[in-house]
Structure 1
């Protein structure tokens, strides 16, 4: 654009890419999510071991729901971090999600004992 038009419309060209000066605290980010995951799992496991009969199946279903809601929250947070251009934390969430999916697969194979 012409300089006169830029001044007329008060358009300022800024060629610098704005990068946040703060580095995200990755350890704190991952520890908070991991603490919620572990606390929920330990809590439900303690309740399951103290109950008996058909209550165990109900608590297992509720525990499964907790894990699904927690995992969906992590995925939604990943999209929000992407929109806010916090790519490092987004990548941490993606790696964390992949690790958790691998753990879920191992648990599935262990519980249902797939014979190949």
Structure 2
């Protein structure tokens, strides 16, 4: 028996499609603007939060304080501990995931709950 897709599932699939078809991270506003159907920002944030909880997306906070989201590809065992760099271009404002892997130190007496690595500069396209 085929189950009927709910509108929310359709919206979730659209968000995944949008994120999978970009080479850089996207803010909730960017995703909302790319949606082929009308979706409010609160719904986009709920979908992104749900995806983050499941380990399907990760985010980094940009210099402007906005969260930028990307689909997870081999994010590791602990979803909140990302060991790669994000690069934010000062000119085009794109935030991209970089392939560089970083070692997360074990800090004695502390429990690490989340990591974010943001490097800011000028990307190759904008040089």
- From the two aligned structures, give the one with the greater helix fraction: 1
**TM-score for the superposition, normalised by structure 1:** 0.31
- From the two aligned structures, give the one with the greater strand fraction: 2
**TM-score for the superposition, normalised by structure 2:** 0.29
Structure with higher Rg: it is 1
